[in-house]
Structure 1
């Protein structure tokens, strides 16, 4: 009986995991984005709604690459962070409240990216250890304050495997959970979430920027 219960829990967990990673297509109005035609982006330190303090910098450090590969000039993270620090701003919530006109005056960028990490970390689930990162973002025109684009993305990995029987799966999940916390497995998962969220060409994603050969100026 116990074996059947554990097997059922495992199957339900896998279903829920993949359901959580399903892509939800939505209709996006790109008219403001196309009218603005941003060339440069300043990425603000992400807000962190997860219990893990590493979430902000894990996502921030991996947000610039997909944007740059999509055709935008992205202001260097270290320069942006130091500029905020010199102005007494070190908390993401305070930075997100800075008026857009002030951000444009300081950095000279066309748009700012606001990111919120809603999930970050690993959880032990009976016979598996699930590492999950979820985030949402919006791109804001620094000249007008208009939201040009918004989106969400989720990435997750599951340690469960089909070998070793139930005891082996339990041991594997426990060991994986310890390793995930020790070496922050969420960091690489956050990288996948960043690419899904911020790479042009994704369903309902941002548009290609002017540095990309796929850029459309019309």
Structure 2
């Protein structure tokens, strides 16, 4: 029992050391979030810098759940997207130069979230495959126009077959299985996973039980926050 406790303490110490060397606390990373305390967020159409037009819907429509989970009120995404579409706005890049205060006046929200999709591709290498996604998030205050939170990260999901027989027949089966699995990958869970990963770095909103209690929580890897 003592050895188990000792191992646990050692592992925790290593974790803290790692955090100190590569991570900052939420209050250090995003002090403006604590100063302004945004409660409501508007999600605009994603800025799509890829050749995958469908990725915009995957990302935008899967943001409501993680935002709500982290304690924020989210302006109804389907309704908001419909309003933008009626105005001919299909990509967030069309809104990049709009003063954030406009979103506050028109939608009555505290902050507006822009998401840039920088990579969304399926890679197939005959006997292996993966899906690679890279996103950047920026949250702006509709009161001051300042950036309250930001994050960028990437995720690679392996879609290779698990057949490791090594025979010619096994390799052929493996190649076919990988091709099918890669081609039929469900991107919605991937989009949700990346969104949850990103938002876990942000201070939680006022509807979360940890609101104003997470200042010292490790937040963003220094090499990923830009």
Among 195, 209, 212, the residue aligned to 2:205 = 209
RMSD: 2.4
1:101-139 CA-to-partner distances (Å, cap 9, x unmatched) read 211111111001110111113101242011121211011
5+ residue gaps, structure 2, are 1-18, 216-226
- The CA deviation at 1:31 is 1.6
> Does the aligned pair in 1 maintain the 2:127–2:178 contact within 8 Å?
no
- The CA deviation at 1:178 is 3.8
- The CA deviation at 1:197 is 1.1
Shift of the 186–151 alpha-carbon distance from structure 1 to 2, 3 Å rule, reads same
2:104 is matched with which residue? 104
Shift of the 126–141 alpha-carbon distance from structure 1 to 2, 3 Å rule, reads same
Distance 1:209 1:56 in 2: 25
- The CA deviation at 1:211 is 0.2
TM-score, scaled relative to structure 2: 0.75
1:173-197 CA-to-partner distances (Å, cap 9, x unmatched) read 443334433x343332222111111
- The CA deviation at 1:68 is 0.4
1:16 is matched with which residue? none
2:191 is matched with which residue? 190
Aligned length: 190
1:80-99 correspondence runs (5 A): 80-99=80-99
1:164 is matched with which residue? 165
5+ residue gaps, structure 1, are 1-22, 200-204
Distance 1:209 1:178 in 2: 41
